[in-house]
Amino acid sequence: MPSLAQVVSRPPGQFRFHELLPTSTGPDTPSLGEGATPLLRAAGLGPSVWVKDEAQNPTGSFKARGMAVAVARNVELGGKKFHLPSNGNAGAAAAAYAALHGVEVTVAVPANTPEALVAMIELCAARVIRVEGTIADASAALAEQDDTLGFSLATLGEPYRVEGKKIMAYEIFWDLGHLPDAIFYPTGGGTGLVGMAKAFEEMEELGWIGPERPRMVAVQSVECAPIVRAFHAGAAHAEPWRDAGETSAYGLRVPSAIGDRLMLSALRATAGTAIAVSEDELVDGTSRLASRTGIVGSPEGGACLAGYERLLAEGWLSPQDEVVLFNTGAAANYR
């Protein structure tokens, strides 16, 4: 296994640490340039605040990381057709990587998915199925189809998306030279949260870190907050959220996440927490993220800022704590 110095000396990108990724082609895995997103000092938000800007990935979101690995590995295993439900960003990423590998993908999306994302999916020659309701309804619609759609790329429905997402934690460690005190992550399906928890375990096994961990914070919308509800109830499982309300943070409208137990375990193991913010709070957070830092991000990024500021005001964090907030998507994707 290479040393940390050897890894960071390689060309930037997700596959610089190919030894811990599952593709057989290693550094030669087909890529659209995903990963190596900037960790930006956000002095306008506080003396020790950083923003991990995932909007600078291909297709404008963090979803490119998981799809880069998942599509590549599943194609290596013989897959030629794929499908998934999506609130938009994952579907756009799946469509782009399917085009890269020359395979087919069908994406089922809620009817209110932003047109910019639907257009991106269709531009990459993927099939789109529009469904009334939430991503749960989109998933159900796919389940009613016959098996000609191929393999599922749904969140945690296959084992490789999480492998791409875990690299976010490695990059934070590489860029800071240490782990931060807390990480705020907008949580829908939760693949990134689960992936980062996995990465910390791997880093400890490599001898790069000890048992210390950043406090992980799951941020959700009050309109759909199954993980927040379960965390504060002390439950090991999150019951589905019934009648999910509308939110501009489409990625947070996930009534039932298959990785609920893994997410709750990661939050508790790191002495973290979960917080739900209102629509007004996340809209205001998105505006202040842009006006104070110049980062024009997604509503999910605004939700993280709102969650951070509330926990800071409540004393759960101090102004001296080093914190990483995730902006998971580009504002243009939500138009």
Q: List pLDDT tens digits, range 298-318.
A: 999 999 999 999 999 999 999
Token code pair at residue 226: 């199954």
pLDDT tens digits along 196-206: 999 999 999 99
Q: What is the pLDDT of residues 57-105, one digit of tens each?
A: 999 999 999 999 999 999 999 999 999 999 999 999 999 999 999 999 9
Predicted local distance difference test score (pLDDT) of residue 5: 85
Q: How large is the average pLDDT for residues 215-243? A: 97
Partners of 330 in beta bridges: 297
Tell which residue, 248, 252, 334, 251, has the closest CA to residue 296.
Answer: 334
Q: What is the pLDDT of residue 171?
A: 96
What's the pLDDT score for residue 126?
98
Q: Cα 219 to the chain's mean position, in Å?
A: 12
Name every residue whose Cβ is closer than 8 Å to that of residue 166 and which is 6 or more positions away in sequence. Answer: 20, 195, 196, 198, 199, 202
Tell me the pairing of strands 127-131 and 39-41. unpaired
- The tally of CA atoms less than 13 A away on the side-chain side of residue 183 is 28
Residue 146 reports pLDDT greater than 80: no
pLDDT reported for residue 332 = 94
Torsion of CA 104, 105, 106, 107, to 10 degrees: -160
Q: Is the pLDDT of residue 172 over 90?
A: yes
What percentage of the chain has pLDDT greater than the value 90? 94
Residue 4 has pLDDT above 90, yes or no: no
